[in-house]
Amino acid sequence: MNKNDFIKFMIECEALLFGDFTLKSGRSSPYFVNTGRYDNGKSLKTLCSYYTELIEQNQTDFNVLYGPAYKGIPLASITATMLESFPKVSFNRKEVKDHGDTGSFLGHIPQNGDRIAIIEDVTTAGTSIKETIELLKKLNINAEIVALFISVDRMEKGINTDISATKQISKEYGIPVYSIIKTSDIVDYLKKSNNEYAEKIQEYLNQYGAKEE
């Protein structure tokens, strides 16, 4: 997997932006990752091909690919068509529907014995991922969450800890987290072109980055 090609692709799609952004965690960041900018068939197919390669490289055994609403829905749907195993696809509603097709889940409803992999865009403090895991646990079924696949690991501290959000998730829930790239890869890429944001992002990591990264 060529990480530089992926970063270049993100920039071309304007999925990787530079400026001043307030994140869900409340932190002010000099860069922002928005998979909502992959807004056509070609870019979505390219993005999901990277996810497919990431999944296949790590040889994770699962039968359900779960994409949290909203950005995870197309990621799970398209990536599932690219994998040789053709896993079932599951995702959730933001609001529970009380008529017709009721409940919080759409597509495949997780069942006993399922091995579930979660596919997401990015993790910063791990807040949204934890919400997803807790939602799945509320089903009270004998299913296992076996992996989390993300496009960018921002390498930042988790909630009330000095370790990274990805390591905090792994430690708390026993789930391995795999990313296409890390923020350090973005910094290295920008340094090669003398982009001013290489230094700004490095300074951001110096402030909010996990100590062990």
Which residue numbers are catalytic?
97, 99
Let me know: does 146 contact 110? Beta carbons within 8 Å. Answer: no
Q: Residues with Cβ < 8 Å from 145, sequence gap 6 or more?
A: 116, 117, 118, 133, 136, 173, 175
- Please give the Cα distance from 199 to 191 (Å, whole number): 8
Cβ atoms within 10 Å, residue 58? 12
For residue 21, list its beta bridge partners.
Answer: 29
What does DSSP assign to residue 110? P
Let me know: does 166 contact 136? Beta carbons within 8 Å. Answer: no
C-alpha 7: how far from its chain's center? 15
Q: Residues with Cβ < 8 Å from 63, sequence gap 6 or more?
A: 85, 87, 88, 114, 115
- Please give the Cα distance from 147 to 177 (Å, whole number): 6
For residue 122, list its beta bridge partners.
Answer: 152
